[in-house]
A and B are shown apart, each in its own frame.
Chain A
Amino acid sequence: MRHLVGIPELSAPELSAILERTSEIAKGAIFSFPGAVALAFYEPSTRTEMSFLRACQLVGAAPLRLLPERASVQKGEGPEETLKTLLAIGAQVLVIRTPEPLLPHRLSHLGLSVVNAGDGAHQHPTQALADAVALSRALGELGGRRMLVVGDHLHSRVSRSTVALSVRLGMTVELAGPPDLLPEGFAEMLGATRSQDFEASLAQADVVMALRIQMERLGSVGAGDLAAYRREWGVTAERYQRLGAQPWLMHPGPANLGVEIDPELVDLPRSLIRRQVTAGVQVRAAVLSLIGEALS
């Protein structure tokens, strides 16, 4: 594979190759990509950027970090220019995080391999792949399993990526959330269905993922708004303990603990939240090494 821009663009052979390579890396196999990987994060990110840096180390690639607050982007340089400069410097892969939807797609035609690390509310494919890997390690075969994803879908690239990939892997996916953040028709667009009853869907789910609530999306965002959100849509300890068969727990991070998910749930044995992060490093190493092979 040359690029990873989004789940819809990912071919079936590419998907199999990534999953297989990830499991080999998890078992300790070494794949080397002695190239240079530029990391351009135009939005703040801790875990994704750290995860890509660690992935570079695992495959022996040299990471080149572009710091937008110091870079010529502050002087009005367009992303195409930046990319061509990176190419001239000797980078072979660009890992990009940007608020601009579809920018990674556009840049993928300019000669450098592009890995999308999040483009606005559009796609975050390595997160979806990490989620799928962490989940299949817990559940085994994913086909026919039930996933519930709750939160702000409208502004979430994780929803668009992880839900699409889970559906593609044969899961039955339900979406829940406030009506303005999960508009009519949104779930169907992703091949999922809209939950009619959050509590009932929770009771049936094999896994539940809470999405990060962006505080500015909740209107005036007083404490009352957050309390109301938690009351209606929170994966709370009380709600969770009440369930007969407890579903696996996921969150793409960073979590607003005590709002979309309660802090005491994060490190339960049935929580995959840390394992999602670990899988993320392995998936990213797998992607970089596969791109490296395609380039050589």
Chain B
Amino acid sequence: MRLVVQGGRLLDPGLAMDELGDLLIEDGVIVSVGGDQPAEGALVVDARGTAVLPGLIDMHIHLRQPGQSHKETLSSGLLAAVRGGFTAVAAMPNTQPVIDSPGAVLEIERQAAQLGLAHLHQLGAVSRKSLGEALADFAGYRAAGVVAVSDDGVPVAQAGLMRRALQHAQAWGLVVVAHSEEPSLAEGGVADDGPDAWALGLPTQSASAEAAMVARDLVLAEETGGHLHVAHVSSRATVELVRAAKARGVPVSAEVTPHHLLLTSAELPRLGTLAKMNPPLRSERDRLALIEGLADGTIDAVASDHAPHTQSEKASGWLAAPFGVTGMETALPMLVAGLVEKGALPLGRLIDAMSAAPARILGLPARQLAAGMAANLTLVDLLAPVSFSAESLATLGKNCPFLDRPGLGRVLGVVVEGRWVAC
């Protein structure tokens, strides 16, 4: 099986590559890069006028199977991933029931593989049923090829259990993805503690609810040597903690979402419950610190925290509506338009944060436009303006805060392990 991606702008910041040329792929592996490649007998993808990037990975999404397929199915979610330019995604295990065993992970990955869309890496829960009481089977996870564990949606409240999780993660080569939230500080808050939420009478949670938990987990990661990955960093305080920890060699990585990079609590009145997510949108000062942290590498990766819910669930009011917004399809175009185009972040850093960096964190095949590498590619016309509507989104979760906001970058399709998937 041969595939030629023809005439694209080959753009790989890790290799300092930015040139026009072809890519030849055989049996899922890149065999030759650049210049003219022989197209005889190959499937040819015309990439003229588009950029060819190392395959993007969204390392933090929520699919709702099993249990909540009215919010999202594997097929709608993984199609949304492809539309967003993602060759692979990592899904959180907070389904119903919680995916907390190696067998459950393998079953959902088997179903996903049959769809022929983006590659699904299913995370397993840290604790049984994500109750924060009994540790799940980390050795079994490893044997099943699981790359990371998380109780995302809720924090691992007990420090003792988190310490054991990091010890097991260290022993079995897993990453613990932490939803960092100190419960006694978060206390039912639905928005960031500050004037924007006070003005609306909303119960709030402070940035310290995140940072205090991150501080605890950094101490535990340093002590145990277990790899801590801080999910959806939202505050300046957390950026500073992670920066200092990295400087002294703590095994920590971090991600940030497009919504925390592009929106603040000033948008609460306009967005309504489309601005209800956990952690919440914070101040402009926090937002600028996140961009700075992403630019200097303190924050390794960008991940969408794609969290689909139905319209009626999100319309049930500030207190009752579930947390979360969708964002796989909008992530790249919104960040290109909102950060790169405005000079706030180099394009190369954004591409790295959405491809090579998550691959490094999760221990996935490297994302490189180089011979011998697994053929995972994203084809995107970075100059094409795009916009989104509820109808245009493939995800069932229309709860996206970026509808009707101009984006840049139209995804043509992705190559997933040598297989061309058009949008």
Contact = CB atoms under 8 A, between A and B. Distances in A.
Contacts of A101: 200-202, 317-319
A183 interface: yes
A183 B201 contact: no
Interface in B179-197: 193-195
Interface string B310-329: 00100111111000000000
6 contacts: A78-B312, A102-B272, A120-B201, A122-B202, A157-B201, A189-B198
Contact of B317 (A100, A157, A160): A100
B16 interface: no
Contacts of B318: 100-102
Interface string B266-281: 0000001000000000
A223 to B, nearest CB: 25
Interface string A119-133: 111110000000000
A256 B201 CA distance: 22
The main secondary structure of chain A at its interface with chain B is: loop
A80 B320 CA distance: 14
Nearest to A161: B201
B15 interface: no
Given A100-B319, A103-B317, A121 B193 contact: no
Given A78-B316, A120-B319, A102 B193 contact: no
A240 B200 CA distance: 33
A157 B312 CA distance: 27
Interface string A183-217: 10110110000000000000000000000000000
Contacts of A137: none
Contacts of A102: 200-201, 272, 317-318
Contacts of B272: 102, 106
Nearest to A80: B315
Contacts of B194: 185
Contacts of B202: 101, 120-122
Contact of A189 (B193, B195, B315): B195
A33 B194 CA distance: 42
B199 interface: yes
Contacts of A119: 201
A155 B194 CA distance: 13
Contacts of B203: 121
B316 A160 contact: no
Nearest to B318: A101
Contacts of A123: 201
A106 B317 contact: yes
A78 B316 CA distance: 8
A186 B201 contact: no
A145 to B, nearest CB: 24
Interface string A137-175: 000000000000000001001001000000000000000
Contacts of B201: 101-102, 119-123, 157, 160
B22 to A, nearest CB: 54
